Structure 1
């Protein structure tokens, strides 16, 4: 199955498509030099195919290239960065101000 990841706006997210249809996304908000990832979701029909890891890896690569730091609030992103040490140099802990930047209706 062919997949691709692209950055979308309104809302800000990295979206993964599989077989030409949207399979999931990783939502984020940028705040003071940090990209705060707060929600990752993969559709039920695409679950278990490794797509969440793919979209998160691409999102982290883009974040690093943009010179931003990563804040993992989403449980999946948090687990991903904790099990892939190559991201430890760009990950920061969330502060109350960062958490306040997350949209209420995510």
Structure 2
């Protein structure tokens, strides 16, 4: 099972496998209440395992807990917001 870590200093959510980065989602704070998700990457060896969704759900949970809205510039994050309508509460409209 993979665990998502949030590195606030590096502004990213990531999943490691034996120390190597398997997947990451990066963001840029536009303000304390608004984050821009600008990039999601899943290493080719880990594709098809739902790691991107794990990153997305961790970002959404963090946004909810901290009163943050998200602007998804990353095509993956944008697609997840379209797929998971229950997460629209943290989407900046």
TM-score, scaled relative to structure 1: 0.78
Alignment match, 1:24? 23
- Does the aligned pair in 2 maintain the 1:3–1:19 contact within 8 Å? no
Between the two proteins, the alignment pairs up a number of residues equal to 92
| Structure 2 runs not aligned, ≥5 long | none
Is residue 60 of structure 2 the alignment partner of residue 60 of structure 1?
A: yes
Listed as ranges, the matches of 1:9-20 within 5 Å are: 9-18=8-17
Q: Deviations over 1:5-53 (max 9, x none)?
A: 0111453100112455321100001112111101000101111111111
After superposition, the CA RMSD in angstroms is 1.5
* Distance in structure 2 (CA, Å) of the matches to 1:51 and 1:18: 11
Runs of 4+ off more than 3 Å: 18-21
| Structure 1 runs not aligned, ≥5 long | 94-106
Listed as ranges, the matches of 1:1-106 within 5 Å are: 2-18=1-17, 21-32=20-31, 33-93=33-93
- Does the aligned pair in 2 maintain the 1:4–1:18 contact within 8 Å? no
TM-score, scaled relative to structure 2: 0.88
